Amino acid sequence: MTAGDGGGPEAASFLARLRAFEGRPAVTGGRGKDPVNAAMIRHWCEAMGDENPAYTGPDAVAPPTMLQAWTMGGLSGHGGRSDAYGELLALLDAAGCTSVVATDCEQEYLRPLRLGDTVTFDAVIESVSPRKATRLGTGHFVTTRMDVFADGEPAGTHRFRILKYAPAALPDPVGPAPARPRRPRPVVNRDNQGFWDGIREHRLLIQRCTSCTALRFPWLPGCNACASLEWDTVQACGEATVFSYVVMHHPPFPAFDPPYAVALVELAEGVRMITNITGVPHDRVRIGMPVRLEFLRVDEDLELPVFRGGSEA
């Protein structure tokens, strides 16, 4: 049987085998490799651009969204793993569901994580869905629930959902090659219309709060520093440096040719934006590399701000 088979008794029997794993432990007595510490909190906040003072100083707490970070095993992995989760994935592999993609996660926070807290956790296979057909392929959603404890006290719950699926077959090419897909269109609304108006004029505009002068990007209806709704704009000079980046290899998306670099750049004005890097091969992009704004004509009605690296930056 494969994941692409139709319904009927055989499919029902297979689903029953999958659901027999529900409620079985995936991790028992897991233990974070490090206590909650200032260095990890600092790295997280720098990457997220979060300057909340609650996350600094001797009485700092960890950002709530770091909940899962304290449970990660790194390259060397964790002890305490049960066989059930591996057996479930092996059963899906044998049924043709050999690909996997993470789909979403949900977190519930019960108490702050403080410096020095020892993090422990247990995880259970919470649910396996009936067979679902998606654009990626057909398969089953698997949800695990992790209960996280700090010095023995409940600290939060993390639910993580993946899709284990059989990849959809690609059609055989027949006749002339199809037209190249267009890039996805940006969502333009009343909150960011001015930004896209500026792009059409080859101007990269940054919002500035007229109450506290804080700059903000992306565009928002109100100031995230003082909550004022009054603002004007300043034009970026076009100079920036690469703050962080990833190289996209897989999965492929229509209108994009992997591998390519997607970067978080820090503008000279101090705000950051996500963009593509042009002018240098993807494997030569580096953190700290200077880049310069240019405008890329994607098609007849879409132009995007990108940043060029290399000697011309």
3 state SS for the chain: CCCCCCCCHHHHHHHHHHHCCCCCEEEEEEECCCCCCHHHHHHHHHHHCCCCHHHCCCCCECCHHHCCHHHCCHHHCCCCECCHHHHHHHHHHHCCCCEEEEEEEEEEECCCCECCCCEEEEEEEEEECCCEECCCEEEEEEEEEEEEEECCEEEEEEEEEEEEEEECCCCCCCCCCCCCCCCCCCCCCCCCHHHHHHHHCCCCEEEEECCCCCEECCCCCCCCCCCCCCEEEEECCCEEEEEEEEEECCCCCCCCCCCEEEEEEEECCCCEEEEEEECCCHHHCCCCCEEEEEEEEEECCEEEEEEECCCCC
Q: What's the confidence (pLDDT) of residue 257?
A: 85
The tens-digit pLDDT sequence of the chain (313 residues) is: 444 445 567 888 999 999 999 999 999 999 999 999 999 999 999 988 889 999 999 999 999 999 999 999 877 776 667 889 989 999 999 999 999 999 889 999 999 999 999 999 999 999 999 999 988 899 999 999 999 999 999 999 999 999 999 988 766 656 666 677 888 888 899 999 999 999 999 999 999 999 999 999 999 999 989 999 999 999 999 999 999 999 998 777 888 888 899 999 999 999 999 999 999 999 999 999 999 999 999 888 899 999 999 765 5
Per-residue exposure over 12-35, b if at least 16 CB sit within 10 Å of its own CB, e if not: eebbeebeebeeebbbeebbbeeb
Q: Which residues have C-beta within 8 Å of that of residue 45, sequence separation ≥ 6? A: 51, 52, 55, 56, 63
- For the question of whether the overall pTM of this predicted structure is more than 0.85, the answer is no
Dihedral angle of Cα 36, 42, 46, 48, to the nearest 10 degrees: 20
Q: What's the confidence (pLDDT) of residue 73?
A: 84
